[in-house]
Structure 1
Amino acid sequence: MRKYLLWAAVALAACNSGSKQPTAADSADIKKPFAAVPVFSADSAYASIEKQVSFGPRIPGAKAQQACAEWLIARLRTLADTVYVQRVNVNSEGKNLPCINIIAAFNPSVKRRVLLLTHWDTRPVADKDAANAKQSFDGADDGGSGTAVLLEVARHLKTQKPGYGIDLLFTDAEDYGNDYCLGTQYWARTPHVPGYTAAYGILLDMVGARNARFYMEGTSQQFAGAQMKMFWDVAHKTGSSEYFRYETPSNGPFFIEDDHTYVNDLLKIPTFDIIATRPTGELMAHHHTTADNISVIDRQTLAAVGQPLLALLYGEPFKY
């Protein structure tokens, strides 16, 4: 993903619910899942990251891409009502890349739907790594963590489905070269179901690292501010207030070109991005470096994201 920082005040302040600051009461609030909400297993999610990393870097065109795709498809077919697979070629800087988008649908016939998405590929090179800029990397957090959280969600949806529809979208070719979100752009222009829409979407990107903090990203606030605040509120009620911050980073509002950009622009589905940044708004230090390996993954962070997500899905997902 590509990130833009805005250092001055901007007009989106009107749609930013973000003057509220976390309080001691937030962290002292509900420390356990709501009634009837399943418990997110951080161990299960962690194991899913280990499995992805074991294939090697999931770069479009690499053997690891095919192997991991087949594993994801097989796993999701044991869990979802319907699994769609888009195998296409996308173009990046004049190069054709194999792209594999995977969509797992729960209650596919129900019209009212929520979209959850993440990318599962890894960037070809660690271009932010001064010592290893041409080396590939594991993508344990950037690619692996969001995928693992959604797999854990799918595991619960298999046995306990809400009354509405949920789609899990695993996009490919998100992080190749200077062209971003190619899999999502293809899907948004050619959805797995003609005329596809959802009430809103939630994007998970880099949601598993130690010391992660989630600030309110600008495009998310602009297009899905109410839905984003709803999720943040649930996160505070379920004990994740330390991770989810109502305010913007210290350097001011920031915008990220990520998969949600194209879901908002092309399909007009209000979608917000849950993505870890440092307090200044910069992406995590391991972003696009060889340090993005299993050692950065923290089970507490996975649970801090996954449990509120389950609480929302099994609670009041349309109360915004």
Structure 2
Amino acid sequence: MQAFSPSPADDIEQGRFSDWPLALKSILGFWFVYALTVAARALMGTDAFTVLFNKLIIIGIGILLTGLIYVLIATFAGTSNIRRKAIVAGIASALASIGMAGAFIAIEDLMREPKEVFRYQSREGFVIIEKGHTLTVERRAQEPLVVTWPRMGQLDAYKRVRYAADTAVVWLFFFAAWSAFYLATKAQAEALTAQRRAVEAESAAQAAQVRALRYQINPHFLFNTLNSLSSLVMSGRPEEAENMILKLSTFFRSSLSLDASADVTLAEEIELQRLYLDIEKVRFPRRLKVEIDIPQELRSARVPASCSSRLSRMRSNMECPAPATRSR
């Protein structure tokens, strides 16, 4: 029986965390795309370095939270159906989005204040200048009005909760998108693995069937051959009996040693047929005449080996063969 050789796709079903390379690649791929969009936006401004620094902190936290989603999916639904995995992924994504919102509030002091300046012209004729947490309103014939936005830690608890909820909703869609991509990729990999295994099983079954047919010795052939051997011995013809035994063993050894799924040369195929017919010629020395004529240029041609396996299943109780047979 042919054994299956393990492949990378089989690793998906070997353990809860065995597909971590797939998860890692998808996580890094998602956040890399996000980083590209952030970099493109930052390069459009005048203080790209500060923007990138702040976003790198967010990306690092996001990668850790996305990894946590994978750990929760693998832990609580690693070997379950897709429905359970989707439920766990949804809950994990919600928790990750809440964690991201909390991280925004917690790391506010680590964020650098951007030096980029935005200027707006209001409909009332005021010039609004925004820089970091400071908003300046330039008014005609009046002193500029400077407004400083309070930091998150200076807000009351209710406002912090509202800010965290708004931020969590935004990030929920990002984490849910990754979860959907990961589950779809995993499901596709499992489907391809099952399909490949089905093909391998079908191929192995066909190979086993061919081997079984090859190893199946036609009872008529063996019975008639042994009868002929017995007749040769009883009639005092030991040399012919010995010759027949040698040819019979050579035929079985050659037939069973061939790979049923491989091709053989036409010369090898004809040689195996010759062994079979030589055995029959011993049984019918006067009634069976064989002449094989093959052009030399065709002797190296490749043919399926299944032809030779059929020889052992031919009707070999040739009680009334033709007086002469010519094979080409």
The alignment's TM-score, normalised by the length of structure 1, stands at: 0.19
Larger strand proportion of the pair: 1
Q: Which has the higher contact order (CA 8 A, sep 6+)?
A: 1
Write 1 or 2 for the structure with the bigger share of helix. 2
| Larger-gyration structure (1/2) | 2
